[in-house]
A and B are shown apart, each in its own frame.
Chain A
Amino acid sequence: MSNSILNASGIVKTFLSGDRRIEVLRGVNLDVAAGESISIRGESGSGKSTLLHLLAGLDAPDAGTLTWEGSPDTGAKRRAAFLGIVFQSFYLIPELDALQNVLMARRIVGHIGSAERDRAKELLKRVGLAERMDHLPTQLSGGERQRVAVARALMNAPRLILADEPTGNLDEHTGSAVIELLLGLCRETGTTLVLVTHNADHAAKCGRQLVLREGRFA
């Protein structure tokens, strides 16, 4: 318990759509230890994205508790330093070039100096985009964009990375490359990874594999 990065217990989430209640999560328990890599699979609509948003503190559960490194503070300020998120559809800011998109993660929580600039450049080098730093998102391919998003998620040296189907918009080959990169970087930096994916091969590369079914981990 002492080196638990993230702990969720009894998480319940219900959506009201019209007068229908959709019970998406019915008591999810999850404990993630530092340095672990976990994959979450599940059918479409099983609530994987919903769970990830809850774990990221972007939404509040109807019941259950969430702690980050033992602390219940999951506010915006702490989130920026504690975790990085990678989404299925990249979400890069179209007006900013690759370097500035990576720096944006830092800009929101603090000052940008030459040290931060160097770190962002270093990260972009690590994801293989050394030559593309001043390119705008529209000038990059899907795989390249997702690699920028990975670099952005790592920018603040977070303890945890949450990735929601990061390969969903990529072809097989590119997707595998991105997953390898993500796993490699997390292993290198000791960052914990929670990866939501449909792909069994990608899931198999993680240390622990979970399946979400009927609102619980099976």
Chain B
Amino acid sequence: MEDCVEDCEEIFSQDGVLLKQAPASHITFVNTIGTLYLSESLNSNKKRFIEWKPNDITVDSDIQDQEWAVVNTIQKRTRTLSGNYPADYQNRIKCIKFNFEEIKSFRVANKSRQISFYDGKADCLCIFGFQHGNSDTLLAILKRMLRISVSKRDKHLYIVYDANFPEFQQLDKSFAELNIQRDSRTLWSVFRNLKDHPYEATFEAFAKVTDYVYRSPEQRDIDDVDKENLNRSISEYENTTTHSQGDYEVVAKVPERKDFPRLRPLSVEQWKGHLNSEGKIEDVESVKTLIFRGGVTPCLRSEVWKFLLDYFPWSSTEADRQKLLATKSDEYYNMKLQWKRMTKVQEDNFSDYRERKSLIEKDVNRTDRTLDFYAGDNNANLQTLNDILMTYIMYNFDLGYVQGMSDLLSPILMLLESEVDSFWCFVGFMNKVIRNFDIDQAGMKDQLSNLHTLLAFVNPQLANYLDTHDSGNMFFCFRWLLVWFKRELSQEDVMRFWEVLWTGYPCENFHLLVCVAILETEKQNIIQNNFGFTEILKHINDLNGKLDMAVMLNKAEGIFYQIKESDHLSDNVRLILGMPLLQTQTSYGSHEQSPFEDSTELSNSTQPCCSVDNVRISPDEVAYERSINSSFL
């Protein structure tokens, strides 16, 4: 224990923390509510502390929402101290503070609502009870700051490694020699991430360490049992995902994820090579595959997009296309005239039309105005954007205009520049995504639900996390899906992304797998920071401008093949991706819960719980665990 006079910076604080057990010096504060702080000394030593102070004011936050807090200003009974004490005595005696180095282990209990710290000397430092929320955030931070591992006997007990422990110095040294990670905190995150990111670069780092462990001559002998452990753990991480289902675990084999590097875009030569003397494309599949793999080289886009967007039939000859252009142009101007000729009276008597017209006007003024092509007042391109959308109302009365449509049209017009061509290409794009604009949003809800199904298959841990954090409805992906990442990517990237998706390869709803790929990438951030409903939305919204389109596509394709080759592939997943259904009716997941069903009851009942509260851990036991774990690593 130290006193409170040192200057500290607060890293984390949690209100409403009940002191359940304390050293004798602080026994008067047992059963008092206070605030738990995690702080770092501002001195050069950068020591970190756990600190608890009784509150005069208690702040209570809504357990469910965590979105707002009420301050209760009722004063605590002040405890009077008699006698002559130093000026800061009151503060000093009140607060409990201990150095990170004192913590040898800690244990989480009572559904994460209690945390006990042990000093490794037979007694416990403190026990804290969380009145609101739980210790998950604190735990996540401790995991980041301390080198810990879970006890093999008690999964709620965390053993803290001592930096002075010989095996650890050795390991640190080996990392330094290998030039992998210098800072010990990142070093440890490598090990921790291993479990969640078995296929990623961390694995490689681990492989290097095992090399070192085996080959380094000065390394002391590792007995055979540990070697076995080492090997087993690697192969386990290699190709299994764990479906957590409450207290038991189902381990389903998912094939290893492969890497699918992006290729160069379809070139003019490649394209020309595929056209026969009549200008007909000989091998459509092969062209589409090239586009899927690398997109289309920019100067070729205005031609190829007309095929991808079903304006030009893939089977047409050059002559067919010339004929088509003439008729489509007539058709367009005919429709355009229909609204152009609308009289003032007609308009006044047609409120639906007026409303659509005004919506378009408002959106056109707010579409990609930062791009040169649409910048400035009285920009002619804005007028064209407006006219195409107005004509689309005439083309599809039932749908009319829905927000988001101007986003879909903007890159097309910017590329093609021609009003007629842009209109028909836009029609083609709309046909692909028309359900995004359903009047009752049924199409969007289906997609969000399908996204959840896919995520639950590929990454059950993350899906489960979202379910238990009010986010199982996947609403935070709404913008991604509605306009196919238009708001997240630059104009150049969105063009590339769309042309790849328009091929319809390698499966139906591939864009949902792109979403899965991004979510999986963000999984660590979301779970380790214990993001709730609000933070998840913010985090996802803030990805805008930060996504690497090529990496996303690459990863999504890897996920596709991983799903495809899984032997427990269920019909509901097959259906979403347009794969042939199983003949037999023995699908694995009997009832995939839709995110639109109320999932609270289900998730509550499957929460693993622990009721064993006061487990005493003897210091020997901790030391034993520590040595086992360190040699295991």
* A, B from the same assembly: no
